[in-house]
Amino acid sequence: MRDGRSGTLKLKLAALSFLSLSAAVFAQPAAAKARHAAAAHNHSHKITLAAAHGSATHYYAGAHAHRIVMRRGRRGHGGGHVIQCVAYAKSASDVVLHGNARDWWHNAAGVYERGSAPEEGSVLNFRGVRRMPLGHVAVVRNVINSRTIIIDQSHWAQNGISHNTPVIDVSPNNDWSAVRVALNNKSGTYGSIYPTYGFIYGRRPGSAPAPKNDVMLAWAKKLNKNGAETQLASAPANAEPVDGLAGSKATFSESRD
């Protein structure tokens, strides 16, 4: 009897050990799946696709993933599309070139006359700087004197077109290689000094300038043709010329005013 009971007890213990081992083996994959799901949730990151008319959001898992934001298009105040300076200059002058504003001066070689003296209807070409790497172009509307002009431009200090903006030449030699643009809504105040290439004229190289009346007439036709454009901002038109700059030294600043 004693040996029989001992054998039965051993059999029961062996069966219990086998069941415990089987449960542990089958429980491991489930625990691993639970840990993996938790890790995927903790490390999920959001991808935001922002477009002009809405946005879409997606998620993905990854231990070293980063948030990615991709934007398409740009809108100005009031929901209107921003008119870039190059597009505006082409629509408001006789100078039609391709490329970024910083490339216009070189692209104009052999195509348009260039120089250092302002003329009505010409395009003032700004060089690229750190805060404005693509450069800038503006259309000259009026020449006040050898140091002061009035320009129309787009996408400068605000997202829109600004008309009748005074610009002064602060270059030592009066060659318009360094200018300051009037600050919007601040009468008689000007921003930082910006380097420029000069002026691109809307005529073939070597040809004579058109009479001022012809330039103004062409400008009026351009304005009528592009009448759908909206003026979003205007700069002050009462700039005073800067005198006594012949011996001064221009220092370029890369802040955007």
Domains and CATH numbers, the chain: 82-234 (3.90.1720.10)
Q: Kindly report the CA angle at 111 between 107 and 113, in degrees rounded to 5? A: 100
Is the per-residue pLDDT at 139 higher than 90? yes
pLDDT of amino acid 211: 73
Region 13-23 average pLDDT: 67
**Mean of per-residue pLDDT scores for the chain:** 71
Instruction: Answer for the pair 174, 246: CB distance below 8 angstroms, yes or no.
Output: yes
Most confident segment among 58-62, 170-174, 241-245? 170-174
User: 109-113, 160-164, 210-214 — which is least confidently predicted?
Assistant: 210-214
The Cα-based distances of 110 to 47, 57, 203 in angstroms read 47, 49, 11
For residues 143-156, average pLDDT: 95
CA atoms 183, 186, 190, 192: torsion sign:
negative
Choose among 216, 203, 213: nearest CA to 114. 203
How far is the C-alpha of 125 from the C-alpha of 110, rounded, in Å?
16
pLDDT band for 144, please (50, 70, 90 cuts). Answer: very high
What confidence category does residue 9 fall into, taking pLDDT thresholds of 50, 70 and 90? confident
Q: Residue 32 belongs to what H/E stretch?
A: helix 2-42
Tell the residue number behind the tokens 């600004």, with chain if given. Answer: 162
Pairing of strands 161-169, 231-234: parallel
Residue 39 has pLDDT above 80, yes or no: no
Where are the alpha helices (H) located in 128-228, listed in sequence order? 212-225
Token pair 């231990």 is found at 63
**Residue 55 pLDDT:** 37
User: Residue 82's pLDDT is what?
Assistant: 57
b/e sequence 7-29, b meaning 16+ C-beta within 10 Å: eeeeeeeeeeeeeeeeeeeeeee
Rounded Cα gap, residues 181 and 192, in angstroms = 8
Binning pLDDT at 50, 70 and 90, where does residue 31 land? low
Of residues 145 and 2, the one with the higher pLDDT is 145
Q: What is the pLDDT of residue 224?
A: 61
Is pLDDT larger for residue 67 or for residue 252?
252
Backbone angles phi, psi at 73, to 5 degrees: 80, 165
Alpha carbon separation from 191 to 18, 31, 168, 181 (Å, rounded): 85, 65, 10, 6
Q: In what order do the strands lie in the sheet with 45-51?
A: 54-60, 45-51, 68-71
Does the structure show a pLDDT above 80 at 242?
A: no
